[in-house]
């Protein structure tokens, strides 16, 4: 299964590069940094049914950092929510795959996101609804490290702890860069784990590209009772494409055709046997 998941992450990265190159716009850096997190959830840990996207007992997923939609779309397509060929319609007029996730248009999307800072509040609401309805689904929320500069995140963190929302498991994709520079230059966010702990959360910090570490952290989070969990994932912006890695300029700029060709060749070369078509 581990090698299969490595192949999934390689294919997701290829899809991300391809769809952004065709669209001519979008956000590669934060999509590539979140790939392992999203792949682990959609291909191993989440209870979902692509044939019944609105299944009441499904797990819920909220992409707080909605600009990383290409990573989510790649996972949804590869899981069978819609054809993989549709990925190349990203950001096109009339497409179901817009630049940020849309709950009403895209199969498998549980919440429209993109206004940074709102995702965790929505996740809390979903968890409270599950409690009221007597359902035991998990609510997964992926936030960006720049996103947690938003005050609403910390109101939601306080609320989740107050209500003991132990079905909420949040991830912070901590790649250290945002559109205007490093986090430290814009507004320092550290110590992220200690801050969540102070708000009453169960906290863990891991290498966000280590699939085994993600598995172990999810298991520990699921075992926690009476309080929400956050997994702070230290990641690399643009992971998997050497000329994008740790380069802030790739936050929101799509590769051109030549750059995409080089990126795809690099992704293919690094893929496990059989991991790239």
Report pLDDT digits (tens) over 179-192.
999 999 999 999 99
pLDDT at 273: 75
Residue 276 is assigned to a structural domain of this protein: no
Residue 36 is assigned to a structural domain of this protein: yes
Report pLDDT digits (tens) over 53-104.
999 999 999 999 999 999 999 999 999 999 999 999 999 999 999 999 999 9
Tally the C-alpha atoms within 13 A of residue 147's C-alpha that lie toward its C-beta: 28
Give the contacts of 47 (CB within 8 A, at least 6 positions apart). 57, 58, 59, 137, 138
Q: Which residues share a beta bridge with 219? A: none
pLDDT at 275: 52
pLDDT at 277: 43
Full residue range of the structural domain in which residue 68 is found: 2-270
Alpha carbon distance 60, 120 (integer Å)? 12
Cβ contact 97:144 at 8 Å: no
Residue 95 is assigned to a structural domain of this protein: yes
Alpha carbon distance 154, 171 (integer Å)? 14
pLDDT at 274: 53
Output the DSSP codes for the chain: -HHHHHHHHHHHHHHHHHHHHHHT-S-HHHHHHTHHHHHHIIIII----TT-TT-TTS-EEEESSGGGHHHHHHHHHHHTSS-GGGGGGTT-TT-S--SS--TTTSTT--S---STT-HHHHHHHHHHHHHHHT----EEEEEETTGGGSHHHHHHHHHHHHTT-TTEEEEEEE-SEETTEEHHHH-----HHHHHHHTT-EEEEEETT-HHHHHHHHHHHHH--SS-EEEEEE--TTTT-TTTTT-GGGSS----HHHHHHHHHHHHHHSPTT---
Tally the C-alpha atoms within 13 A of residue 21's C-alpha that lie toward its C-beta: 16
Residue 156 is assigned to a structural domain of this protein: yes
Cβ contact 100:6 at 8 Å: no
Q: Which residues of the chain have pLDDT under 50?
A: 276-277
Residue 277 is assigned to a structural domain of this protein: no
Residue 62 is assigned to a structural domain of this protein: yes
Count of the separate structural domains present in the chain: 1
CA distances to 62, 110, 216, 218, 229 from 66, in Å: 9, 12, 26, 22, 21
Residue 157 is assigned to a structural domain of this protein: yes
Cβ contact 197:161 at 8 Å: no
pLDDT at 3: 74
Cβ contact 73:90 at 8 Å: yes
CATH classification at residue 51: 3.40.50.970
Residue 251 is assigned to a structural domain of this protein: yes
Q: Tell me the backbone φ, ψ of residue 5, rounded to 5 degrees.
A: -70, -35
């Amino acid at each position: 299964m581990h090698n299969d998941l490595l192949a999934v992450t390689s294919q997701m990265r290829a899809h991300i590069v391809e769809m952004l190159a065709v669209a001519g716009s979008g956000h590669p850096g934060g999509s590539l940094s979140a790939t392992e997190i999203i792949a682990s959830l959609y291909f191993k840990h989440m209870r979902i049914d692509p044939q019944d996207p609105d299944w009441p007992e499904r797990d819920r997923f909220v992409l707080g950092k909605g600009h990383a939609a290409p990573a989510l779309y790649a996972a949804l397509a590869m899981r069978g929510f819609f054809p993989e060929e549709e990925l190349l319609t990203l950001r096109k007029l009339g497409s179901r795959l817009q630049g940020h996730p849309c709950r009403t248009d895209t199969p498998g999307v549980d919440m429209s996101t993109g206004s940074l800072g709102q995702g965790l509040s929505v996740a809390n609401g979903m968890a409270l609804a599950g409690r009221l309805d007597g359902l035991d689904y998990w609510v997964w929320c992926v936030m960006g490290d720049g996103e947690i500069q938003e005050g609403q995140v910390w109101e939601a963190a306080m609320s989740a702890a107050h209500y003991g929302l132990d079905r909420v498991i949040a991830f912070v994709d901590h790649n250290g860069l945002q559109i205007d520079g490093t986090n430290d230059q814009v507004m320092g966010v550290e110590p992220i784990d200690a801050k969540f702990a102070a708000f009453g959360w169960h906290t863990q910090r891991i290498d966000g590209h280590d699939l085994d570490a993600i598995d172990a952290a999810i298991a520990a989070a699921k075992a926690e009772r009476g309080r929400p969990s956050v997994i702070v994932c230290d990641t690399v912006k643009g992971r998997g494409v050497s000329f994008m890695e740790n380069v802030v300029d790739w936050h929101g700029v799509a590769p051109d055709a030549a750059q995409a060709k080089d990126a795809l060749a690099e992704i293919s070369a690094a893929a496990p046997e059989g991991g790239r078509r």
